[in-house]
A and B are shown apart, each in its own frame.
Chain A
Amino acid sequence: MHLSAENLPFRELNERVKAAPGEVQIDNCYGQPFVGSGCKDKSIIIYGTPGNALGAYLDGAEIVVHGNAQDAVGDTMNDGRIVIHGHAGDALGYAMRGGKIYVRGNAGYRTGIHMKQYQEKRPVIVVGGKVGSFLGEYLAGGLIVVLGLGVEEIPVGSFTGTGMHGGRIYIRTKQKLSGLPPQVTAEIASDAEMGEIMPFLAEFAGLFDLDLKQFAFDQYYVLKPNAKSPYKKLYTAH
């Protein structure tokens, strides 16, 4: 089913998307928030620029965006897959608890903030370009991979992993990673550790028609919570 979203208020658009069985294609999407929120078994293909909280509380559906997405994509997402062919805004995968998000371009500040995992539920975010500051802040679980494709500098901003106490962050860069907070340890990823992310790198390459060999076997850092230095306050001297 095709829907043109131009001039359609967000409530109406989202009711129509939810009522449509199977695959829905949305054209001319301009900023409607909450598209696909909470959807279980559905496939939503979007042309345009969907609004904030795209796929919030997503529970199994698949969303594909041909364009850029805005803030809070996959907020508290539980299951399913979100694929963004452009860039994503701030707070991508905020408090995500399951499912996968793949972004071909860059993502904003606070990517994967406070993601968590429980038993078989393990959320995954893969960003092709670079991300802003506070990547994986308060990370409690799950997996974040930043590929830095086409990025010369370190592809993450300041305060990466601040307050991190679970999960893993992988960063592909030739540069030496520095300036990380004491709650985080960073080492070059071992073969075994790379094995953990290889299926997701392969999926990323497949989704965006890239050659896996061009980026999967380079130097990656893996960031883990530092067991010796539990969470310390950041905001003492502001």
Chain B
Amino acid sequence: MFSNSQISEQTIPKLAQLDFAPLDTYATREALISTFVFVLPISIVVFCVAMFAAKAPNHILMMIGGGLALLNTYIAWLMHAIVKSTGVALREHDLVLKRGVFWKKTTAVPFNRIQHIETHRNPVERKLGLSSIKFFTAGGMGADLELNGLSVERASRMRQYILSKEQHHDSE
């Protein structure tokens, strides 16, 4: 039977009032290791080039060394802050992610728009027992939502939940 009951605007769930769950305990460690695997060698190479190839005077070397140390400290702080600022909320019909230190971004993807889900585990993640999930919709060329720093079990549960919701939607 057709029904067309009125919906009160007040009853529409509000995104801004969600409680977001943080990432896994090891997420910060994983982000730091994955970043400094690249950043640290580059910093050392830059310093070595300045020291041996360019033969920079001592005061310039100190400035470069100090600058690189500051930059590395800033990157470490930023990675830490990004992980701390990241929160995930699963609702009945969508997945919401908030992330960002200076640019705080909140993104929602309805389950019935998800085309496929990919799970990734890089060597660092495997070592720390973590997993990443990528969600793809029909919009955009890459992943629409990427969740790093989830424990394997939590990522698997989340994936299963979303897939079951998708199937439920498809069968309707």
User: Do A and B associate with each other?
Assistant: no
- A-side residues, CB < 8 A to B, are none
- B-side residues, CB < 8 A to A, are none
